[in-house]
Structure 1
Amino acid sequence: MSKLQCISPIDGSVYVERHLASNPEILAALARAELAQQTWKRTPLRERIAIGRRAIDAFAARESQLAEELCWMMGRPIRYAAGEIRGFVERATHMADIAEGSLADIRLPDKPGFTRFIRREPLGVALVIAPWNYPYLTAVNAVMPALLAGNAVLLKHSAQTPLCAERMVEAFAEAGLPEGVFQYLHLSHGETEALIRAPTINHVAFTGSVPGGAMVERAAAGRFISVGLELGGKDPAYVRADADLQHAVETAIDGAFFNSGQSCCGIERIYVHESLFDAFVEQAVALVRQYKLGRSDDPQTTLGPLVRADAADFVRAQIAEAVEQGARAHIDPAEFPLDAPGTPYLAPQVLTNVSHEMRVMTEESFGPVVGIQKVASDEEALALMNDSEFGLTAAIFSRDVDAAMALADRVEAGTVFLNRCDYLDPGLAWTGVKHSGRGCTLSRVGYEQLTRPKSFHFKTQL
């Protein structure tokens, strides 16, 4: 029987081992989900919400355990790991809070002799495919609204974070969710692709790489099911001449290096007005030098290992290539003794003298490196921000709200921030453009992705 192994980036040990689901087990899970959904969709919405809230409480009660597991599975520093559990609670609670309003019938103006309204109906069985970098936050975006809308859910997590799927299902089971409504499956890539083709699957929510998203689209082609894709990012920040310099440095650098840069909406390139450029770089480098690279189970660590050694080596290659092309590296890796080729431990790096001729400014890095480029105007910054195949988020730092709004209207991104970055407000639609994906999660718009409209047109007077 094939097995899944989670290799901890902390020390290379096998942290979790699970068997991969066999074809009979997959078919049984599909049958349970299809049957359970027929009853679940008829369960009153308020009862579904109550179960969801109990699941949130059960999940939150395990914060310490979940944080420690997260630390060991994917390398999040233990001092920050609990923040993901709290983020899960925030998002899940918001989607529960707005469920009744978002799923309420849409009533049309009165028309004598007729009753007309639109009802949101569940799609059926949703497959949620979640990544390792924010395994709880990315999953909850689709899982909670899908369940509250009356769908059954099958959850497939990354092989790097298999316990996350198990813990989420356990919390809902403890809350009294009927058996079969929410299940997890540990699957290979091939089995996942085959599952997408299964006639029982009515929706796929995928978070991951661009090639992974292309696979999902190919597998779902011709089935006429809805697909939500949250893919890569190469998110920019622009620091205008009127920005609060200290705030811009602290916020943008945190957005670039939190989670060791392993965030689809992390800041990967920064454009700074020439009047602030030198000061910004000086302060940014000084701030980055304060990071402590170490084992993620050490409470003093502020920069943990990347998820795998090959991921770190990929970023090393980007940096080396940029330096060969003329970029200036401001951090000496020797300042971070754990940094070593062939290991997941990688020193943070700040690059200047960069351009869009370099991969590090155009290709997703997903690691602790950021390029900082000088610009002379808003127009130059805007052109560079939009010069990307990605469009997930973008950040502007400015004291002039009107000027920032005029720029934001022209930025090609799913979310534009002012004076902040790398945060998902669950009240807003989480979406991307270009190669960052399509569809959306969170907000009341997210419920529209997990339901279909059904119109009722009754002639009541004959």
Structure 2
Amino acid sequence: MTKHLQTVSPIDGSVYVERELATAEEIHTALNLAVSAQRRWRRVPVAERVAIARQAVDIFSSWETDLATELSWMMGRPIRFAAGEIKGFVERATYMADIAEQSLADIQLPEKPGFRRFIRREPLGVSLVIAPWNFPYLTAVNAVVPALLAGNAVLLKHSAQTPLCAERMVAAFDQAGLPRGVFQFLHMDHDDTEVLIQSPRLAHVAFTGSVGGGEKIERAMAGRFLSSGLELGGKDAAYVRADADVKHAVETAMDGAFFNSGQSCCGIERIYVHDDVYDAFLEQSIALVNQYRLGRSDDPETTLGPVVRPESAAFIRNQIADAVAQGATPQIDEADFPLDEAGSAYLAPQILTEVNHGMRIMTEESFGPVVGIQRVSSDEEAIALMNDSEYGLTAAIFSQDVDTALALADQIDTGTVFLNRCDYLDPALAWTGVKNSGRGCTLSSVGYEHLTRPKSFHFKILP
């Protein structure tokens, strides 16, 4: 019996996309095609791979309006912001193309008389990229484009919430002239995905998603010694020091907490504020958040859309209720956001104070429009609380003392530390996490090291 996926739009609960899932035979055929195509693709000079990728990016960018509309309907991003993800895709893909030839060049060693020695970066083979719905293009591009540029073939499995994203990316590369089989999408369920991961012809898995999803990937890979990159959950923290520019900190941290309805792996979910600026920071934060407009994602006036599904909203409401029962104080009146109704995907933004780490809201990933703000009295207290987490993706410090901020940043257990900004990915920097936020690295020149393997050449030249 044929299996289907349905994408239910959070805007109105309608079925926006319906697709047949790939059969076992279709998955087998796609993998065979990828293996044979990759053998040829790896021989294509890097400069030619880059040229095809640049053409694909240009084609993709020309579809911006349609892609933004689809994105809004599939996962609920307000239409006024949706095109920003297409621009971000272009920025990241372009940067990785810009550095590809240099990053993938042979590593030349100092001359040694009578020998020729160098290290070559060879592609791994076929990479399976499993992408999520919350930033469906920005997360996929991190793994897909560098993998292709490195000479790998890619099979892309996207979330059932955003299947069109996989189709559009593959279509852009097809139009750009990428050889058949080098980049394919597969709509699969979890069971078939696990079977594919266990195939000896697969060389690499890149997964972005929950910690639970990452655990399933690792179990499926057990005994395979498979190369992998896992970007998992987050409970990212910000610290507002006594010397911070409060207005800037408010605008930046609130955007980091509530953009995309808080559905970002590197979104700010907890904020520690020094006593000296706590009252001013809180007052300005409440005023700013009360200006948000909760509404349908296809309404250009909307600044806060629904979360992805009613079940997600119910989880966040439960977190908030538990915190309030333990003594937390909600600072936003839900009545000011009338679309917020139990059972719906529309959820009012919320700021909670009088919070502590005995509450789920400060330790468990929320992935929604809520943030806890906790008062602290010193840098030491703030750093200890920031590190008191099973996650470690990013952290942000707000301060006008760069040297002190750098010293504090060295003490924070995360993959990235920001100063006076947050919730941003610079493609020139390594994107990585520690603890339960995952392992591996994407983007930057370092990212290419995770998509290739070193092969040493040691030639003795006879007289």
1:159 is matched with which residue? 160
Question: 1: CA distance between counterparts of 2:275 and 2:195?
Answer: 52
1:70 is matched with which residue? 71
1:130-188 CA-to-partner distances (Å, cap 9, x unmatched) read 00000000000000000000000000000000000000000000000000000000000
Question: 2: CA distance between counterparts of 1:46 and 1:207?
Answer: 29
2:400 is matched with which residue? 399
Residue 373 of structure 1 aligns to a residue whose secondary structure is: strand
Question: 2: CA distance between counterparts of 1:305 and 1:24?
Answer: 38
Residue 430 of structure 1 aligns to a residue whose secondary structure is: coil
Question: 2: CA distance between counterparts of 1:197 and 1:398?
Answer: 48
1:11-48 CA-to-partner distances (Å, cap 9, x unmatched) read 00000000000000000000100010010000111110
1:328 is matched with which residue? 329
Question: 2: CA distance between counterparts of 1:40 and 1:452?
Answer: 16
Q: Which amino acid aligns with 2:280?
A: A
2:462 is matched with which residue? 461
Q: How does 1:408-419 map to 2 (within 5 A)?
A: 408-419=409-420
1:337 is matched with which residue? 338
Q: How does 1:51-62 map to 2 (within 5 A)?
A: 51-62=52-63
2:239 is matched with which residue? 238
Identical-residue share of aligned pairs (%):
74
2:453 is matched with which residue? 452
Report the Cα offset of residue 274 of structure 1: 0.3
Report the Cα offset of residue 221 of structure 1: 1.3
Residue 201 of structure 1 aligns to a residue whose secondary structure is: coil
Report the Cα offset of residue 315 of structure 1: 0.4
Over 2 Å off, 4+ runs:
none
Residue 118 of structure 2 aligns to a residue whose secondary structure is: strand
2:51 is matched with which residue? 50
1:345-384 CA-to-partner distances (Å, cap 9, x unmatched) read 0000000000000000000000000000000000000000
Residue 441 of structure 1 aligns to a residue whose secondary structure is: coil
Could you tell me the TM-score, scaled by structure 2's length? 0.99
Question: 2: CA distance between counterparts of 1:222 and 1:183?
Answer: 26
Matched, 1:125 2:120: no
1:425-462 CA-to-partner distances (Å, cap 9, x unmatched) read 00000000000000000000000000000000000134
Matched, 1:171 2:172: yes
2:105 is matched with which residue? 104
1:120-139 CA-to-partner distances (Å, cap 9, x unmatched) read 00000000000000000000
Question: 2: CA distance between counterparts of 1:349 and 1:293?
Answer: 12
Q: Which amino acid aligns with 1:358?
A: M
Q: How does 1:43-442 map to 2 (within 5 A)?
A: 43-442=44-443
Question: 1: CA distance between counterparts of 2:447 and 2:224?
Answer: 22
Question: 1: CA distance between counterparts of 2:330 and 2:341?
Answer: 17
Count of equivalent residues: 462
1:183-208 CA-to-partner distances (Å, cap 9, x unmatched) read 00000011111111111110000000
Residue 93 of structure 1 aligns to a residue whose secondary structure is: helix
Contiguous gaps of at least 5 residues in structure 2: none
Residue 374 of structure 1 aligns to a residue whose secondary structure is: strand
Question: 2: CA distance between counterparts of 1:120 and 1:52?
Answer: 19
Question: 2: CA distance between counterparts of 1:413 and 1:374?
Answer: 22
Question: 2: CA distance between counterparts of 1:435 and 1:149?
Answer: 28
Alignment RMSD: 0.4
Q: Which amino acid aligns with 2:73?
A: W
Question: 2: CA distance between counterparts of 1:121 and 1:115?
Answer: 18
1:43-66 CA-to-partner distances (Å, cap 9, x unmatched) read 111110000000000000000000
Q: Which amino acid aligns with 2:143?
A: A
Report the Cα offset of residue 264 of structure 1: 0.3
Question: 2: CA distance between counterparts of 1:318 and 1:103?
Answer: 46
1:289-336 CA-to-partner distances (Å, cap 9, x unmatched) read 000000000000000000000000100000011001000001111100
Matched, 1:11 2:22: no
Contiguous gaps of at least 5 residues in structure 1: none
1:401-438 CA-to-partner distances (Å, cap 9, x unmatched) read 00000000000000000000000000000000000000
